[in-house]
Amino acid sequence: MAASRLPPATLTLKQFVRRQQVLLLYRRILQTIRQVPNDSDRKHLKDWAREEFKRNKSATEEASPTTEAQDLKEANGIVTTTGVRSICVREFSLDLGL
């Protein structure tokens, strides 16, 4: 049997799509944080977002029934987008426009 020509770390299509969704979410969070008027709050939120994404970098959802149900809802047009719709921190909230 011939060996696969793909490198061992190649992502599946589902993993690739999920990765793109996460990167898009991260970019939108950072874009929204840029709109915060207070410099110290903006820095705090940026650090928080960066640390949360780093903390969850190795997380996988492949075995999660919730993820499968969400994917099914999206495929059926019940849900149009996934992710965080708003962030509420201290005395203000940010709408991510998702």
Domain count, the chain: 1
- Residue at 31 is within a domain: yes
CA distance 88 to 45: 10
* Predicted local distance difference test score (pLDDT) of residue 27: 95
Residues 84, 89: Cα–Cα separation, whole Å:
13
In single-letter form, the type of residue at position 31 comes to Q
Residue 47 lies in a domain: yes
Q: Are 34 and 42 in contact (CB under 8 A)?
A: yes
- What's the domain range around 28? 13-56
Which runs of consecutive H residues, i.e. helices, occur in 1-98?
A: 13-33, 39-55, 65-75
Instruction: Flag whether 64 is in a domain.
Output: no
**Is residue 40, in this structure, part of any structural domain at all?**
yes
pTM of the model: 0.56
Q: 22 lies in a domain? A: yes
Per-residue pLDDT of the chain (98 residues; tens, 9 = 90+): 566 676 777 888 888 898 899 999 999 999 999 999 999 999 999 999 999 999 988 887 654 556 656 666 665 555 444 445 555 555 555 556 55
Residue the block writes with tokens 């898009």 = 24
Residue 44 lies in a domain: yes
Q: What is the pLDDT of residue 5?
A: 74
